[in-house]
Structure 1
């Protein structure tokens, strides 16, 4: 019989806990902008919790549906290593999804419906779109980007116009990230017969699409500056852009798995800076810095101490 700490650690690995900040920063623009326009309510923190639980459920479903490939490529992961049974993983993911649905409808009927859409997207991605090349690279970012809309709908039932800029920037940036992230496993995916965007379109074409989408993301995120919004949020856009360039250039020059990992690490850092940047349009720079930097530092600490492949 396994000890409770070891079992708990196995489940934490299963949900890829070092990445907890991603659904939070993707949801924050919607909750903050919606709260600013319609007033504070208990729904704001619950929206963030719901996004986090749904993200964890998606990670579990990913490992459940791709356990056959992990038996070969990632035998140390919780399911192939036998630390978590597939049936138990499915039960946990289903329980988390049910919880998300209940919380969504408790906040607003529109939020509940959007939870159903997000669950459908997550299931479609994990069950088959992930192995369908560009369709996988489009569906996952769409789900992540919709979290900003979800956050706004939760607190107000409406979507402030600035949220759509956050949606567009998040979708474009995450699309670019998804494409580049597949380079870290490109040889392994080819050997296993997994179709990723670079293998489907060709490495150069995939990198071109990724680069164009990434640059477009920063343009979209910057448009509110032209509309007279608080200029201080541009700091996060600038730092995210620098982190992206520094870590993406090696991959553009030489498409190796090592450079793919570097690009992915840079993209995660940049995402934590870029995704919530627009909340800085309605809150003080000090407050946005406290939120963003605390999430960034915690993520970096967990990534370094867990040594978990993400």
Structure 2
């Protein structure tokens, strides 16, 4: 009996659990989006790698990591149902340490964001506020299957893209860059909806009205895929209008590959959602970089 309860009697966090808390696997989307923004800015990267790398670290390990810590703290009761082995419900991060880590990373995020100039700091502030608005009461936008994924899509794809371009330009990016960033952020709503499938049971028990809970897995999967597909279709159309047909064709081919993967997803959305997030999403984010190079080559960003 003593041996079985010992892991839950910690008074300080387990170091490995702290890394698990900030979920390195989730850092890729904002890092990639920030890099896409930097590419789309049209500014030479050779002399700006320090600020590019700093922004990528801020977007991924720091701000995204902070958002994961905040989410796990605010979701500790839900996770006790869905994933009891996660750091906080398992006791590997005991007491209020999860909250303290999230708050400390919030301060660090703002401090590093200030190094990126006024626009970089402003974008960091928006990202921090969005992270807490998503997870924390009384706002807790994650309770909504519409507002929650939309906010995460904006924070993971649109905001880092805007920031990457704005920091290198030292000015707000042009309309074309903002438009493409917003479209990929809109499409990411579908990615986040598919991500909600893994928490289906706990969300039902704790009143989180994700689309898989409210509409069922089949309908939610179709809405998610339609959202992703429509956003990319508009990107393709814009690239054609702006005189980048080869880039548009490349994005179109990637969209076709996603449609093939979606057919498998629809056979059993609950089972195949994790598989799609590991395959179809790769095609989605590849199209982001192609669109970024299209903007760069056209010179519409600078």
User: Structure 2 length as normaliser, TM-score?
Assistant: 0.81
Kindly indicate whether residue 96 of structure 2 is the aligned counterpart of residue 87 of structure 1.
yes
Q: Which runs of 4+ in 1 moved over 6 A?
A: none
Kindly indicate whether residue 169 of structure 2 is the aligned counterpart of residue 160 of structure 1.
no
Q: Distance in 1 between matches of 2:132 and 2:258?
A: 29
Question: Is 1:198–1:206's contact at 8 Å kept on the other side of the alignment?
Answer: yes
Q: 1:59 to 1:271 in 2, by over 3 A?
A: farther
Question: Is 1:184–1:259's contact at 8 Å kept on the other side of the alignment?
Answer: no
Q: Distance in 2 between matches of 1:82 and 1:23?
A: 29
- After superposition, what is the alpha-carbon deviation per residue over 1:113-170, rounded to whole angstroms, capped at 9, x for unaligned? 1211111111111221112221212211121221111111222222134422431232
Query: Which residue in the other structure is 2:246 paired with?
Result: 231
Q: Distance in 2 between matches of 1:243 and 1:15?
A: 31
- After superposition, what is the alpha-carbon deviation per residue over 1:205-233, rounded to whole angstroms, capped at 9, x for unaligned? 53443233111221233222431237357
- After superposition, what is the alpha-carbon deviation per residue over 1:4-30, rounded to whole angstroms, capped at 9, x for unaligned? xx9332222212112332111111121
Task: Please report how far the alpha carbon of residue 37 of structure 1 lies from its aligned counterpart in structure 2 after TM superposition.
Answer: 7.2
Task: Please report how far the alpha carbon of residue 188 of structure 1 lies from its aligned counterpart in structure 2 after TM superposition.
Answer: 4.3
Query: Which residue in the other structure is 2:131 paired with?
Result: 122
Equivalent residue in structure 2 for 1:105, among 94, 109, 114: 114
Q: Distance in 1 between matches of 2:282 and 2:212?
A: 23
Task: Please report how far the alpha carbon of residue 67 of structure 1 lies from its aligned counterpart in structure 2 after TM superposition.
Answer: 0.5
Q: Distance in 1 between matches of 2:173 and 2:234?
A: 17
Q: Distance in 2 between matches of 1:14 and 1:25?
A: 21
Query: Which residue in the other structure is 1:294 paired with?
Result: none
Q: Distance in 2 between matches of 1:78 and 1:11?
A: 8
Q: Distance in 1 between matches of 2:243 and 2:182?
A: 19
Q: Distance in 2 between matches of 1:205 and 1:258?
A: 14
Question: Is 1:67–1:80's contact at 8 Å kept on the other side of the alignment?
Answer: yes
**3-state SS of paired residue (1:133):** coil
Q: Distance in 2 between matches of 1:254 and 1:220?
A: 28
Structure 1: runs of 5 or more not aligned: 285-310
Q: Distance in 2 between matches of 1:37 and 1:217?
A: 28
Query: Which residue in the other structure is 1:24 paired with?
Result: 31
Q: Distance in 2 between matches of 1:60 and 1:48?
A: 18
Q: 1:221 to 1:9 in 2, by over 3 A?
A: farther
Task: Please report how far the alpha carbon of residue 78 of structure 1 lies from its aligned counterpart in structure 2 after TM superposition.
Answer: 1.0
- After superposition, what is the alpha-carbon deviation per residue over 1:242-262, rounded to whole angstroms, capped at 9, x for unaligned? 45323322332334x212222
Residues matched between the structures, number? 279
Q: Which deviates more from structure 2 when the two are superposed, residues 163-172 or residues 139-148? A: 163-172
Q: Which deviates more from structure 2 when the two are superposed, residues 6-15 or residues 106-115? A: 6-15
